[in-house]
């Protein structure tokens, strides 16, 4: 499977590393499905540590909320409640 990163820099001809793919997914530039299972779990955990909700993680990583919740549950993490907006 070929993966093409759309960056401002021309391709160097070097293979893309797993860390570069992870970083691109962390920034929301690529869908998390291109990552290995372990890296996808690490990405979810890192975003969860930033107090992101399942919906925020799913949107950012382009996963479904079902998949996000399933991975979070497998990692033994609690769901983050959505913050209520301040009353005007």
What is the biggest distance separating any 2 CA atoms in the chain, rounded to whole angstroms?
Answer: 53
Check: pTM over 0.85? Answer yes or no.
no
In a domain, 85, yes or no: no
Total tally of structural domains belonging to the chain: 1
Do 80 and 53 contact (CB within 8 A), yes or no? yes
In a domain, 9, yes or no: no
In a domain, 86, yes or no: no
In a domain, 38, yes or no: yes
In a domain, 53, yes or no: yes
Range from 11-20, 36-45, 55-64, 70-79 carrying the lowest mean pLDDT = 11-20
Do 54 and 71 contact (CB within 8 A), yes or no? no
pLDDT tens across 8-19, in order?
Answer: 554 567 788 999
**C-alpha span between 88 and 80 (Å, rounded):** 24
- Domain span including residue 38: 18-74
């Amino acid at each position: 499977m070929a993966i093409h990163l759309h960056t401002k820099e021309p391709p160097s001809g070097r293979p893309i590393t797993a860390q570069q793919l992870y970083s691109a997914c962390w920034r929301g530039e690529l869908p998390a499905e291109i990552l290995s299972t372990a890296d996808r779990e690490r990405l979810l955990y890192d975003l969860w540590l930033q107090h992101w909700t399942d919906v925020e993680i799913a949107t950012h990583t382009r996963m479904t909320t079902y998949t996000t919740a399933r991975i979070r549950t497998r990692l033994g993490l609690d769901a983050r409640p959505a913050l209520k907006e301040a009353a005007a």
